Structure 1
Amino acid sequence: MRFLRPRSNLDQLPAIALDAGKVRTLLSAAAYKQELLQQIAHAKNRIYLCSLYLQNDEAGAEILAALHAAKAARPALDIAVLVDWHRAQRGLIGEKKQAGVSAGNAAWYQRVSSNSATQVPVYGIPVQTSELFGVLHLKGFVIDDLVIYSGASLNNVYLHQFDKYRHDRYLLIQNAVLANSMVDFIRQHLLSASAVHRLDKPGYPATKQLRPEIRSFRASLKKARYHFPSGLERHAQQLSVTPLVGVGKNNPLNRVICQLIANSQQRICICTPYFNFPLAITREINRALKRGVKVDVIVGDKTANDFYIPPQEPFKVISALPYLYEANLRRFAKSHQKDIYTGRLRLHLWREGGNSYHLKGMWIDEDYALMTGNNLNPRAFRLDLENALLIHDPQHELQPQLQQELASILQHTSQIHDYQQLEKIRDYPANVSKLLGRLSTVRLDRLAYRVL
């Protein structure tokens, strides 16, 4: 007899009614870029873009140019770009600094602004006093009444500008109530904060000058929520969406993620780019397996990790991360080998050419789907500002496109049938094996799992 757990805790979440005909799922980075540029070009009232970063490269320049063109065509257009404060003021990881030249995107924003007749404000959002301990990981673009939700940032690889792409998820929802809720959150809780400053204009303060404001800002974010008119809430059997947000331990988004797994009855499917579940998720997965729920986990192969560097290229410390995650996956697979043999647990490794994998989210039974930028790791659960869209689909109206999306992901995966299919640490390149051995000896690997 299957264990059934009441779902009242999820059913009681406030939610916004959806029209299935106004929900679309895109399946590729190229389609996502094309849609984004098209929507920017046709925007009539507002464009709000919230992303970890807008990169100074060809794709980033194309997006920024499109924003300026839209503003020039419609001067009354309300435009705001929000990026992480720290990420915008440094170069890419591993990039060499040039003497006297700023490597950060902020310098580029200022050059573009000074050379443009139009103004496109770019705001730096400092979620923490140091990037290591928290960044803006809030996702979602609002263009008029269209919400475009993806975990992707704005640069060449996320937008498939050239031959390589970083695969993500891409959801479009045409809904004024949801769009207004997300814009209201940005205005009320982000843009109004004294810690937030424009990066497209020179003269903004240094981080050390803002430390008191940033600490106060982070404290206020812990209480921040999405709001929408209660009179527009849906009935229990109607297709709906709930926007969720959270930062810090035991926040509302974290709790809902765990509740989704805890309330599963038949099947759980989880996507994560970095296999490093928080203890709370691991516990709920273990409990779900014990009560007979089938669990699928889709994770990127180490070679599809955005930090992966081929062994023949010069070694960098950051390139050990994909191996660290794979070692974690191997331990998990070994402890659940019986579940793998019975087919109750299926582990899928995504790999497609030289491309990378950045998918996050969950499907629970056929009733719930979670779109999120949350990596489902300890960092996301404790440090970064995260959000998500929880779709409740009791009549299974969106199942055809959700299943199509899942099929498109799985087509580039291989299944792990035995934990020994995954390499041991001693099989890794010498530099990686040596580093991971040292980290394990002094238990720094535990710290790494919490902040990376």
Structure 2
Amino acid sequence: MGSLAMRMVTGRCCRSVTAMLPRLWTPPWLKQQQMKRRMFATFTTDSKLRDDQRKIVNVLSASSRMIPVRGDQISLLESPTDFYEAIKDGIRNSRRRVVMASLYIGTGKLESELLDVVADALAENPALEVTLLFDAMRSTRPTRDSKDPRFTSSAAMLSTLLLADSAKWRQRKSVVNEERLKISFYRTPDLTKALQWLLPPRVNEVVGVCHLKAFVFDDNVLMTGANMSSSYFTNRQDRYIWFRDSPPLANHFCSLIDVVSSYSFALGSGTRLLPKEASLTRKREDFCAQMASSLGEFCSPGDEGEVPETGKEFDTFCFPTIQMGPLDIRQDEQCTIALLRGLPSGTHLQLSSPYFNLTPEYEDVLLEVAERNRVDILTASPKANGFYGSAGVSGLIPKAYSLLEQNLYERSQRIAQDDCDSFRKGLSIHEYERSGWTYHAKGLWGTLPSDLEGPSLTLIGSSNLGYRSRDRDLEAQLFVITRNPHLVGQLSAERDSLFSRAVKVDSRSFLDSDRSGGYMAAKASQLVRSWL
């Protein structure tokens, strides 16, 4: 037998043996993976998703894990007051775990009362464990308007009310266990010691922050873009979606926050930040590589996450994403752009970003979408911007955002001049303004061609879709696609409520005196764009 014939026979034998192996023995990990994929196919088929919805699911599942949930267990909150009360109720009703991540917590009366609820819950329930994650630079920034002289920063208030021997829950020695309360502060690896020395507090935050927001109470998840401070509890409008009884979703965000916390500093007595083992790596490159490796499980394409309970009918699918530019993790950006490009013709896309500084990639893809669909963008008016009226350089920020908004408006108008079907497609910009309020809502709503009652697609989370979100900050988002009519109705009402307080922008809008920054504002907007 010649050598070529021998290789052919050997190849056939190898393929035959390989084909028989799964019948003889299948590794446990492969069995689990096969089961997940079968259930994924079953969910997306039996859930009666329409063709355009299934197309969206396929696009998102290529880059993110899928977590099925029931739409009747999802509710939307309307106001900052609802958000504040939901956090307090979530803490009080938790029996096993409270996990909360936010950019920072304020130092006012409402925040103090919130931490008292945490202390009471720890004292009354010995089985409860609490994990808190904040940004290190934002939380150690000196506070200028605290009513309590003890609370010189967020870190000082957390230490005083939760860690000090005088803290309420620590008075009951029988329930004191240091492992039950973990407070972590993440510091971006891009803030070197030299930069920290050169840049004063507040300014050093432009280098990068831990911007993700998620609240977990046992198996319930509250997703939002809001932070934990008095304005977000009173007159700063955001979005809030409550997912009840979803262990896979809750476990996902608990695990994510645990991993980020392991690469953060622990809050010690006073305001001392104690490095954890994972954060001791001296070289930036090594730290980023190690942390990126630890976060790999959260952004592996094709991983459908935990297998949910059988026997339940799932009509809603969640796709969590993360974006961590310093670690070269760009899952959210990839998913968002793929989703926008994959929208079927006839979709009505509505997007909100309070700080209008879209990256060129997002601007370009939105203009592409607008060539075949209707696109409405909602942003804060200068008066509804959180920096409006600030002293010094900060006061120019709303004007800088307005100039960036004007650039996109003029680009969209040049395209619209060549198209007579502007009612069914094209891009429009709307500005939210409400007396005495600021605007912070972010995300999107997608009304697909087959949606008759409202949007069946939404995105909620911490990203502003700008340069900072893409390159500097740590972000967490959640895409949701549903066929549940009650949830569709809630999304429609939420969207309509926000847009009802907005005015459509035209060329005259940019002549307003609030936007006149002249040459300096124009130059500043270009110079600092990548930092906003």
Smaller-chain TM-score range? 0.7 to 0.9
Partner of 2:237: 167
Partner of 2:384: 304
Aligned partner (choices 486, 507, 525) of residue 419 of structure 1: 507
Change (3 A) 1:126 1:111: same
Q: Secondary structure at the match of 2:158?
A: helix
Q: Secondary structure at the match of 1:422?
A: helix
Greater mean alpha carbon deviation, residues 117-126 or residues 229-238: 229-238
Partner of 1:9: 59
CA contact (8 A) 1:300 1:351 kept: yes
Change (3 A) 1:391 1:220: farther
Partner of 1:278: 359
CA contact (8 A) 2:102 2:133 kept: yes
Q: Describe the superposition over 1:47-72 as per-residue Cα deviations: whole angstroms up to 9, x where unpaired.
A: 00100001111121111111001111
Give the drift of 1:32.
Answer: 1.2
Partner of 1:124: 185
- After TM superposition, list the pairs within 5 Å mapping 1:90-239 onto structure 2: 90-91=141-142, 95=144, 103-112=152-161, 113-114=163-164, 115-118=166-169, 120-130=181-191, 131-160=205-234, 165-174=235-244, 175-187=246-258, 189-193=259-263, 195-199=264-268, 202-204=271-273, 212=282, 216-223=286-293, 224=295, 225-226=297-298, 229-232=305-308, 238-239=315-316
Change (3 A) 1:206 1:362: same
CA contact (8 A) 2:70 2:314 kept: no
Give the drift of 1:401.
Answer: 0.6
Change (3 A) 1:5 1:384: same
- After TM superposition, list the pairs within 5 Å mapping 1:51-66 onto structure 2: 51-66=102-117
CA contact (8 A) 1:127 1:218 kept: no
| CA–CA separation in structure 1 for the residues paired with 2:309 and 2:526 | 43
Q: Describe the superposition over 1:139-178 as per-residue Cα deviations: whole angstroms up to 9, x where unpaired.
A: 1100011101111111110011xxxx10000000011111
Structure 2 residue identity aligned to 1:326 = S
Change (3 A) 1:101 1:181: closer
Change (3 A) 1:230 1:75: closer
Structure 2 residue identity aligned to 1:298 = L
- Return the structure number with greater helix share: 2
Q: Secondary structure at the match of 1:153?
A: coil
Aligned partner (choices 419, 429, 436) of residue 354 of structure 1: 436
Partner of 2:394: 318
Is 1:29 the equivalent of 2:29? Answer: no
Q: Secondary structure at the match of 2:503?
A: strand
Change (3 A) 1:122 1:11: closer
Greater mean alpha carbon deviation, residues 356-365 or residues 116-125: 116-125
CA contact (8 A) 2:211 2:475 kept: yes
Q: Describe the superposition over 1:308-334 as per-residue Cα deviations: whole angstroms up to 9, x where unpaired.
A: 107xxxx32111101100111112112
CA contact (8 A) 1:139 1:372 kept: yes
Greater mean alpha carbon deviation, residues 54-63 or residues 229-238: 229-238
CA contact (8 A) 1:29 1:168 kept: yes
Q: Secondary structure at the match of 1:184?
A: helix
Q: Describe the superposition over 1:407-446 as per-residue Cα deviations: whole angstroms up to 9, x where unpaired.
A: 1111211112x2232227xx4588x446415xx1xxx533
Aligned residue pairs total: 425
Q: Secondary structure at the match of 2:464?
A: coil
Unaligned runs of 5+ in 1: none
| CA–CA separation in structure 1 for the residues paired with 2:527 and 2:95 | 47
Give the drift of 1:254.
Answer: 0.8
Partner of 1:45: 96
| CA–CA separation in structure 1 for the residues paired with 2:430 and 2:361 | 22
Give the drift of 1:273.
Answer: 0.4
Q: Secondary structure at the match of 1:334?
A: helix
| CA–CA separation in structure 2 for the residues paired with 1:406 and 1:96 | 34
Partner of 1:85: 136
Change (3 A) 1:101 1:26: closer
Q: Describe the superposition over 1:76-115 as per-residue Cα deviations: whole angstroms up to 9, x where unpaired.
A: 21101110011111135xx499xx9984221222222312
Structure 2 residue identity aligned to 1:179 = A
Aligned partner (choices 482, 488, 491) of residue 402 of structure 1: 491
Structure 1 residue identity aligned to 2:156 = A
Give the drift of 1:397.
Answer: 5.6
Partner of 2:319: 242
CA contact (8 A) 1:129 1:215 kept: no
Structure 2 residue identity aligned to 1:186 = I
Q: Secondary structure at the match of 1:159?
A: helix
Give the drift of 1:5.
Answer: 12
| CA–CA separation in structure 2 for the residues paired with 1:16 and 1:435 | 48
CA contact (8 A) 1:129 1:211 kept: no
- After TM superposition, list the pairs within 5 Å mapping 1:355-374 onto structure 2: 355-365=437-447, 366-374=455-463
CA contact (8 A) 1:275 1:328 kept: yes
Q: Describe the superposition over 1:8-33 as per-residue Cα deviations: whole angstroms up to 9, x where unpaired.
A: 43254431111111000011111111
TM-score where L is the length of structure 2: 0.73
Q: Secondary structure at the match of 1:329?
A: helix
Change (3 A) 1:451 1:219: farther
Change (3 A) 1:264 1:233: farther
Q: Secondary structure at the match of 1:136?
A: coil
TM-score where L is the length of structure 1: 0.85
Give the drift of 1:4.
Answer: 13
Identity of aligned residues (%): 21
CA contact (8 A) 2:134 2:184 kept: yes
* Segments of 4+ moved more than 3 angstroms: 3-8, 100-103, 199-203, 213-223, 227-238, 338-341, 394-397, 427-430, 432-435
Partner of 1:258: 337
Partner of 2:521: 436
